[in-house]
Amino acid sequence: MRERDAYANLVLPSLLRERRLAARDAAFATELAYGACRSLGLLDAVIADCAGRAVADIDGPLLDVLRLGVYQLLRTRVGAHAAVDTSVDLVRAEFGSGKAGFVNAVLRRAGERTAGEWVDRLAPRDPVGHLAFEYAHPTWIAQAFADALGAHADELRALLAADDERPAVHLVARPGDITAEELALVTGGEEGRWSPYAVYLDGGDPGKLEPVREGMAAVQDEGSQLVALTLTRAPLLGPDAGRWLDLCAGPGGKAALLGALADIDGGRVDAVEPAEHRADLVRKATAGLPVSVYVTDGRDSGLAPGYDRILVDAPCTGLGALRRRPEARWRRTPADVRELTVLQRELLGAAWDLLRPGGVIVYATCSPHLPETVAVVGDLVRRTGAEQLDTRDLLPGVTALGDGPSAQLWPHRHGTDAMFMAALRKPE
């Protein structure tokens, strides 16, 4: 992953298939890879302290081994002797005794303290910085979470702890094909708490499940399901002609759920995606549904105005889904935010121009970061006079969504990605 600058969830499955590992070995390899990626900041701080040099000065392959070794020592139940010996043996076989001695010395020093003792030794003294280090997050992201929590910033520890764990697999039952109850029975899963189409899985490869292979179900976080449902539930002024738009459709999960719901009532969904390879993913996800895919820039789509409902699931920093792409937290920087917020405002403005009077937009991001959420919505409201609906009313039964009128999901409260959503209606 380091050499290819790729995401673990995209690279690791193919590597495991190539190596043909047994299920138990594959699960262990997955835990080590995801865990080391997730804990990178803490691991590198410990390695630098033990090595007496910056991690940038350590050869890449040795650093990979050290990260995996320190992760085993501090964050798994693997015995210290086994973690050190397997790491040293690997380096000796690949690079010789000299470098094996260096790895041995670093890992033995790392194993002299517990994870908690390393946190006490190396973490910043300020409260947010300390929590960020303890739960393996950059400080700027932890501060962004604290700002979004607002008056509930005392939940930051619980949020970071939930964000530091591997998430459960969520399935979506395609409306009209299978119910969540039926899907849970077939898969051995559990019906979701919030979405009527969600099923939780304990583990395993969802791609091997018959309903998933046959297109009756798909992998989709329950929070993403709620975003699509919010769009369908928002009250319009005037009748719903069934003309819906997903303006940022790739890779197609929400478009598929919207298409299935539209199909039941005789509606249609247009889906916009500027990248051809992602547009192809949308086509595959929505096969057999009344969904038309347009490969174009949502800011200048060329589509005819007059849509009843528009979803703007805008490109964002993805800070709300760090559990699923654990290394993303170390790749994102505050500098990413400015460019993205410009894009988000442009997409939302373009959607407003395509919306009919009395129609509704749901603006959503997989990030709770305030510049990407309430600031973008507030800008549109000021410029257009958009009516903000109370989004919480569109999520019946879902608790602790914030102070409104927007809604914010959280991993520690809802078990979902940290999805933000705001419903906006165009005055007649």
Rounded to whole angstroms, the Cα distance separating 165 from 172 reads: 22
* 138 has binding-site annotation: no
253 is in an annotated binding site: yes
End-to-end Cα distance, the chain: 52
Does the annotation place 154 within a ligand binding site? no
396 is in an annotated binding site: no
Supply the Cα-derived Rg of the chain in whole angstroms.
Answer: 23
Q: Where are the alpha helices (DSSP H) in 20-96?
A: 23-38, 40-51, 60-75, 80-95
How far is residue 52's CA from residue 48's CA, in Å, rounded to a whole number?
Answer: 6
252 is in an annotated binding site: yes
Q: Residue 218: which of 185, 266, 154, 172 has the closest Cα?
A: 172
Residue 290 labeled ligand binder? no
Rounded to whole angstroms, the Cα distance separating 126 from 173 reads: 45
The yes-or-no answer on residue 366 being catalytic is yes
**250 assigned binding-site residue:** yes
State how far the Cα of 148 lies from the Cα of 126, in Å rounded to an integer: 19
Catalytic residue among 37, 50, 316, 366: 366
Nearest residue to 61 (alpha-carbon basis) of 87, 84, 29: 87
| Rounded Cα gap, residues 198 and 221, in angstroms | 8
Stated as kind and residue range, the H or E segment containing 246 is strand 243-246
C-alpha to C-alpha distance for 341 and 381, rounded to whole angstroms: 15
Residue 12 parent element (H or E): helix 8-19
Does the annotation place 251 within a ligand binding site? yes
Which residue ranges are tagged as binding site? 248-254, 273, 297, 313
Which residue ranges are tagged as binding site for S-adenosyl-L-methionine? 248-254, 273, 297, 313
List, by residue number, the catalytic residues: 366
